[in-house]
Amino acid sequence: MRPVQKALPTEVLTTRDETFTIQAIYKSHTDARMPLEANLDVYCSYCEVFSSDLEVEHIISQNQDSSRTHDWDNFLLSCGRCNGKDNKSNKTVDLNTMYFPHRDNTLLAFQYLEGGVVILHPNLTQDQKKKAEATMNLLGLDKRAGNPNYHKNDTRWKHRRGAWEKADEYLKKWEKEETNIPAIIILALSTGFFSVWFTVFEKHIEVRQALVEAFKGTARDCFDANYNPIPRNTNDI
């Protein structure tokens, strides 16, 4: 899951078409959609799918705490599946026992594998595994054929698989010097799934750097000088 850096209130964000000043409070959460897209682009903050139809998602749901309904710091962008009734929706969220991309280096929580598979990262401690598993269950990131909670209309894993296949194809081209970084970035941005591309190109620092710089809102303090993921918080990932 791509770690993101949300803009702070009063920060000014400029796109090709508009300029937004981030507000601490929004009259309606839907008013924050365009500023969020200017900050994080049109990718689900959880599954990372590229979509022009994302929702402004309340991290802490309105049912759980209505006082945070209008708070900028309680918003992320989500696809309808991650935020659907069979996944996050209005479920209770405890920020202290789960990982979220605007607070943690969520690249360290999960591992992405060929075929669109997402698993808990094998390097996690037992306490970290509990948090990562709670996040996985909240969002259903591991739902695919074979998972008892899988629904046939949940195609997120198929899109991840497609992104992996494209990334792997361009990895082979890159290693044969048949493509270049701009071409890789154009395809990655139009495909989505930052974590898939970042994983496939794990041995190529220059491509990883370009990915981090190209995907708007990626938290750069989550990477060392060689673009390996590093803990975001002193006591956790």
- Of 152, 138, 127, 153, the closest CA to residue 46 belongs to 138
pTM: 0.95
pLDDT digits (tens, 9 = 90+) for 86-97: 999 999 999 999
pLDDT band at 134 (very low <50, low <70, confident <90, very high): very high
Structure tokens at 16: 């090709």
Query: Stretch 47-57: mean pLDDT, rounded?
Result: 96
Query: Stretch 104-110: mean pLDDT, rounded?
Result: 97
Q: How far apart are CA 35 and CA 22, in angstroms?
A: 7
Distance set, CA 197 to CA 75, 137, 159 (Å): 25, 23, 13
